[in-house]
Amino acid sequence: MAASGHQDRGSSLPEALFRHGLVISSGGTLTLTNALHAVRERWWVLIAGLLIGLAAAAAASWTAVPVYTSTTRLFVGATGEAENADAYAGGLFAQQRVQSYVRVLEGDRLGRRVIADVGLQVTPDELAAKVTVRPVPETAILEVTVSDGSPERARAIADSFGRHAIEQVTVLETTAGAVDPAVRVTTLDAATLETEPVSPDVTRNVALGISLGLLAGLMAVLLPARFGRGIVTREQVRECTGRDVLGALVEDHRFRDVGPLAGLRADSPNREALRAVRGRLLHAHRDTPPRVLVVTSALRGEGSSVLAANLAVTVAQAGARTLLIDADVRNPSVSRYLDLPEDTGLTDVLSGRASLEDAVRPWGEDSLLVLTAGSVPLDPSALHDSLSLRALVDTLKDSYDVVIIDAPALAPVADAAVMAAWADGCILVTRYGGTPREHLSGAAAVLARERAELLGVVLNRVPPRSARARGYRHPYPADPDRRARRDLIDRRLHIGAPGRGAPRTANSAVAVSPTARPERP
């Protein structure tokens, strides 16, 4: 394919966004839709926050020392000459005195008398911390409230405070030579005995714990969605690359460790995701579907080699003669993933040490052949820049329907960009929530500068809960009744029908292996 054919098809949007700094490198706008998706994806964080807040409130209420209160009220009234004045003046006189008596009742002198009277083992300052003296507004009433761990002791302290306050005020308000004090203090309400503690307030603590727990959980859910750098949504992919998501592969250790599609069920979401990617690539609205595909990523370890191998298997299962090339000669992984020998491969063919027929190896029962990386070259960059690799791929297009090239990551080296420039298209693999946005946008900009056509992005290792919450996965399980009927039919075919254990005859039905393939003409 001529290089000039790529001059007018490479998109300049990612490069322009990256060059002018319009791509968000950390965080983004938190819309209502993104917030709802984040809550659906990490709803368990909200539940955890609620439970932690509830547990903290319960623990605080359980370990707290109960506090009881007792309240007594004292009335301040004028006597002597003050009684002959009008009622209004007498009331004002009493209210003014009330403000002064607050300081008297809070003093150390009265406190020491109460300590001696009740027999407390505390200091006057410690006792003052338990006592609250408050004048009732617009009245001549003093309210004395005592808090203590014992309801009986709280009442005894409040009662002692009332009696000693009356004695001390009487002494202060009796002038020399006078018989009666100018102001008389009397007990309006005796000290109460409260059997219910005022602290801890279990209802208030539980409500506060639940509220704070939900708030903390909500912040833990929304802050990563607002300031997180990883790619998680289709909008973020379009913003960074100008392309859509081709598919999303759900996190599954068997998909990475066991081998291509080997450890997956027939209804596995990754099987359907790979078929969807194949369909979007090979049956897109184009005059001719791409025949040479480069699979790469922005950073190492994002799963581009696993995707390349599984995509090659999926394309081959559709009947297309497919060749998978491991062009990551620095860190080859296709041979290990497919359990193939590494003695002869791409580098040996390009250097003339081996022929293409000797280096290409079949894999599986489908029409898939693999060209591993081969021995390590002296200069990997020169290998990818050489015209011999491009000429080899042009030759292979005559023998294969689809050629898939597993290329190294774009951030460390420029090998993938060079190959994508003369390929029919490129696929970027990004790890869900792991690839920073600036790296993905930078990778798209590198491809755009090389005039390579970016076909789309594949999200890899998406947690199952996130896949459902963000619409990447739509489960469509098989009918269990139909599966049970199929298993019953298989058992009958195995033991013979209609009689149990009947021998199989020439006319008996024979089950066909689902992996059997017709011979090629």
The token pair that represents 451 in the structure block: 């005039």
pLDDT band at 476 (very low <50, low <70, confident <90, very high): low
68-189 domain in CATH 3.30.470.20? no
Same fold for the pair 68-189 and 234-470? no
pLDDT value at residue 463: 79
What is the three-class DSSP state of 141? strand
Rounded Cα distance between 331 and 36, Å, is 40
Show Cβ contacts of residue 488 under 8 Å, excluding neighbours closer than 6 positions: none
Task: Give mean pLDDT, residues 313-327.
Answer: 91
CATH of 234-470, one of 3.30.70.2860, 3.30.450.20, 3.40.50.300, 3.30.1020.10: 3.40.50.300
pLDDT value at residue 5: 41
- How deeply is 171 buried, as exposed, middle or buried, from its count of CB atoms within 10 A (0-12, 13-18, 19+)? exposed
Q: Return phi, psi of residue 460, to 5°.
A: -115, 150
Rounded Cα distance between 345 and 17, Å, is 39
Q: Of residues 445 and 234, which shows the higher confidence score?
A: 445
What is the three-class DSSP state of 142? strand
pLDDT band at 520 (very low <50, low <70, confident <90, very high): very low
Rounded Cα distance between 260 and 307, Å, is 9
Q: List pLDDT tens digits, range 261-308.
A: 644 555 677 888 888 899 888 776 567 888 999 999 999 888 899 899
Q: Which of 383, 395, 386, 398 is nearest to 345 (CA)?
A: 383
Q: Which residues in 261-287 are b (16+ Cβ under 10 Å) and which e?
A: beebeeebbbbebbeebbeebbeeeee
Residue type, 298: A
pLDDT value at residue 390: 87
Give the H or E element holding residue 170. Answer: helix 151-173
The token pair that represents 98 in the structure block: 């009330």
What's the chain's average pLDDT?
78
pLDDT band at 6 (very low <50, low <70, confident <90, very high): very low
- In this predicted structure, which of 85-89, 311-315, 340-344 has the lowest mean pLDDT? 85-89
The token pair that represents 83 in the structure block: 């009684």
pLDDT value at residue 151: 92
Rounded Cα distance between 317 and 275, Å, is 10
Task: Give mean pLDDT, residues 92-99.
Answer: 72
Q: Of residues 90 and 407, which shows the higher confidence score?
A: 407
Show Cβ contacts of residue 481 under 8 Å, excluding neighbours closer than 6 positions: none
What is the DSSP annotation of 209-268?
A: HHHHHHHHHHHHHHHHHHH--B--SHHHHHHHHSS-EEEEEEP-HHHHHT-TTTTS-TT-
Give the residues across from 77 on adjacent strands.
184
Q: Hey, where are the domains in the chain?
A: 68-189, 234-470
How many CB atoms sit inside 10 A of residue 67's CB? 16
Task: Give mean pLDDT, residues 209-228.
Answer: 81
pLDDT band at 323 (very low <50, low <70, confident <90, very high): very high
Task: Give mean pLDDT, residues 99-105.
Answer: 81
Q: List pLDDT tens digits, range 143-164.
A: 999 999 999 999 999 999 899 9
pLDDT band at 236 (very low <50, low <70, confident <90, very high): confident
